[in-house]
Amino acid sequence: MANNKKRINLNGLITCVFIVAFLLISGCVESGEGATTNELTVGISSDVNNWYLSQFPAGDGRFVWSQIYETLIRLDTDLNIEPGLAESWETPDGGKTWIFHLRDDVYFHDGTPLNADAVVFSYSNESYVKKVGALKALDHVEAVNDSTVKFVMRKSMSLPFYLTHVAWPVMSPNCVDEAGSFISPIGTGPFKFENQVNAQEIVLVRNDNYWDEKSTIDSVVFKVIPEATTRVMALETKEIDMAIKLPEYDVSRLEEEDDIEVYRTLTTFTDFLQFNCNNGAFEDKEVRKAVAYTIDSEELVDTVLEGIGTAANGRAFSPVMMYSDPDLDLYEPDIDRAKQILAEGGWSDSDNDGILDKDGEPLTVKLVVGKGVWASRHTAMAEAIQGSLQEIGMNVDIQVLESAAITSLEKEGNFDILLRTGYFVWGPYPRHFLVHQSAYPFSHYNNSGYDTLSNAADSTVDTDKQQELYYQLQEMVLEELPAFYMVHEEKIVAANSYVKGYEITAEDPWLNLDGVYIEKEQ
């Protein structure tokens, strides 16, 4: 009898083990080709330093925001505008007033419905979009009824393009307490906030009440790995499933690895040299032109960037952007012409030291490069530019500085050239001309004709008229050279081959995880 009891208990134990094992497996995998786990781990370069509408997070925080928060209007992977939280919109007066009709099937992560009051809250005077002046023309937002909201502008403008940017999404008013203090991120997106360990990771879980197609992934873990080389190593050792912002020098090697997929696409961002046109040598347009004729954009792409990107040769708008003129007369490297321009301007090497001078002042300029995730890329570009400009007798002093130090130099006007990228880009809409307007505090370029043209381009909703104006604007940038645009950036995302269904998008703030799943052999 005792032996029978032991046998029964043993059989019961074995049965329980099989049941537990089955439950564990079924909770982690689904049937299909191979086995599918339901957690995606993504390597990013920086943490989310802010979750509230008063400030857009620095660095890669935007990739996390775009999983939690959504915008009234969004972009598909080809940068076409499509409905987001607003299912339709119209302007009754040529862009001065915009009416948005909200979806009626959307709920915030706390279970409260999306309504017009939430949109009004998200575009209050405390919002980042109002404080930084990106929508300075926005007078006010009002709720017409629960599902209709009106944006009243101080001038006509193509507002829908601006509202695609995740920097100003729609948040629940319940993300703050009665005193107005922030509590937690509450959006409408496909994933909900679960946990954050500062400087280490952010954990999001699937929103099972999502209004659109629900994710097949149960959770996404964003691992904060500041160093690009470390992110690559983590990808190769499968510590992470996917990595963004990878260095150009790793791309060709990763593309040869059988178990890694590399995704590449041309983006809306362009690397450019911004000149201080108000002081120093670059106050003279001809000196700026000498730089444009010296820098070889093709060589920068082929050598420094290892073939990643497309040479801009002065073109301000990436080819994937709206109104990018395909027929511009771009700059081609011509060292002899650059030298001739400088000689005609009175620059000569009077003391035979290899550096040109004029009126006793040497042609020595400061090129400022920012630290951060793109420092290695931009420092290498700066060094190549330094070498090229030396050929025409220009001495370049490279300064690699923190963003706060660069801001200080900008305010003081104490710089000659800034190496920039992706400045004021709103999806396909060419908004980054703003940086060259004289009203912009860090412009360091004053041209009333440029101001008039750029304001006119942004103040019409007539697409034919906009194209005409933006074409003129691009020609003016090439002629006046407030900046020399060098390289249209290519975005790189890499993932282990068991990550399926990913489709890369040219719009930087988005990490499109629609349809992504993981298929691993157990």
The answer to whether the beta carbons of residues 72 and 86 sit under 8 Å apart is: yes
- What is the distance between the alpha carbons of residues 457 and 474, in angstroms, rounded to a whole number? 12
Instruction: Calculate helix-pair angle for 285-294, 375-390, nearest 10 degrees.
Output: 100
The runs of H, that is alpha helices, within 29-172 are 61-68, 116-122, 128-131, 159-162
Angle at CA of residue 229, ends 223 and 235, nearest 5°? 50
Residue 14: strand, helix, or coil = helix
What residues contact residue 415 under an 8 Å CB cut-off, 6+ apart?
Answer: 276, 366, 368, 409
Residue 235: strand, helix, or coil = helix
Residue 101: strand, helix, or coil = strand
**What is the token pair recorded at 144?**
């017409």
Confidence at residue 133, expressed as pLDDT on a 0 to 100 scale: 66
- What is the distance between the alpha carbons of residues 484 and 445, in angstroms, rounded to a whole number? 13
Strands 395-401, 364-370: pairing is parallel
Tally the C-alpha atoms within 13 A of residue 224's C-alpha that lie toward its C-beta: 16
Angle at CA of residue 426, ends 421 and 427, nearest 5°? 100
The answer to whether the beta carbons of residues 205 and 109 sit under 8 Å apart is: no
The answer to whether the beta carbons of residues 380 and 303 sit under 8 Å apart is: no
Confidence at residue 406, expressed as pLDDT on a 0 to 100 scale: 93
- What is the distance between the alpha carbons of residues 292 and 334, in angstroms, rounded to a whole number? 9
- What is the distance between the alpha carbons of residues 373 and 58, in angstroms, rounded to a whole number? 11
Those residues of the chain that have pLDDT short of 70 are 1-37, 133, 373, 424, 508-509, 521-522
> Length of the chain, please?
522
**What is the token pair recorded at 32?**
């299909």
- What is the distance between the alpha carbons of residues 252 and 262, in angstroms, rounded to a whole number? 9
The answer to whether the beta carbons of residues 326 and 339 sit under 8 Å apart is: no
Question: N- to C-terminal Cα distance for the chain?
Answer: 42
Confidence at residue 167, expressed as pLDDT on a 0 to 100 scale: 85
- What is the distance between the alpha carbons of residues 73 and 82, in angstroms, rounded to a whole number? 6
Among residues 44, 373, 70, the alpha carbon closest in space to that of 220 is found at 44
Beta strands in 380-427 (DSSP E): 395-401, 417-421
- Exposed / middle / buried, residue 285 (Cβ in 10 Å: 0-12, 13-18, 19+): middle
Provide the β-strand partners of residue 138. 153
Q: In what order do the strands lie in the sheet with 97-102?
A: 86-90, 97-102, 148-153, 138-145
Confidence at residue 137, expressed as pLDDT on a 0 to 100 scale: 87
Q: What is the DSSP string of 469-502?
A: HHHHHHHHHHHH-SEEEEEEEEEEEEEETTEES-
- What is the distance between the alpha carbons of residues 273 and 412, in angstroms, rounded to a whole number? 18
Q: Note the pLDDT tens digit of each residue in 276-301.
A: 999 999 999 999 999 999 999 999 99
- What is the distance between the alpha carbons of residues 302 and 22, in angstroms, rounded to a whole number? 53
